[in-house]
Structure 1
Amino acid sequence: MMQTFVRADIEDFLFAEAELLDEWRLPEWLELFTDDAIYYVPATDLAVDASPDNNLFYVADDRFRLSERVKRLMKRTAHAEFPHSRTRHLVSNVRIRRQIGSDVEVASAFITYRTKDAVTDTYFGSNRYLLTPHQGSFRIKEKRCLLDSEGLRAQGRVSIIL
Structure 2
Amino acid sequence: MTTETVDLSLSALRLRVEEFLYREAALLDDWRLEEWVELFTLDCTYEVPAADHPDGDPGTTWSLIHDRRTMLEQRIIRLKKPEAHAEFPHSRTSRIIGNVMVEERTPETITARSTFLVSRMKAGKFDQYAGHYRYELVPHRDAFLIRRKKAVLTHDRLAPQGKISFVL
Indicate the TM-score class for this superposition, using the shorter chain for normalisation.
over 0.9
Hey, what does 2:115 align to over in structure 1?
Answer: 109
RMSD over equivalenced CA pairs, Å: 1.3
Whose radius of gyration is greater, 1 or 2? 2
Structure 1 segments, 4+ long, off by >6 Å, are none
What SS does the aligned partner of 2:47 have?
strand
- Structure 2: runs of 5+ lacking an equivalent: 1-8
Question: Which of residues 132, 155, 160 is equivalent to 2:161?
Answer: 155
1:34 aligns with 2:56: no
Q: Any idea what SS the aligned residue of 1:6 has? A: helix
Q: Any idea what the Cα deviations from partners look like across 1:79-102, whole Å, max 9, x if unmatched?
A: 100001100011000000112451
**Distance in 2 between the 1:46 and 1:137 partners?**
32
TM-score by length of 2: 0.91
Selected match of 1:131 from 109, 112, 137: 137
Gaps of 5+ in 1: none
CA contact (8 A) 2:54 2:152 kept: no
Give the total of aligned pairs.
159
What is the TM-score of this pair, normalised by structure 1?
A: 0.94
Counterpart CA distance in 2 for 1:46 and 1:131 is 24
Identity %: 41
Looking at structure 1, the residues matched to 13 and 132 of structure 2 have their Cα atoms a distance apart, in angstroms, of 20
Q: How does 1:59-70 map to 2 (within 5 A)?
A: 59-70=65-76
Quick check: which one's helix share is greater? Answer: 2
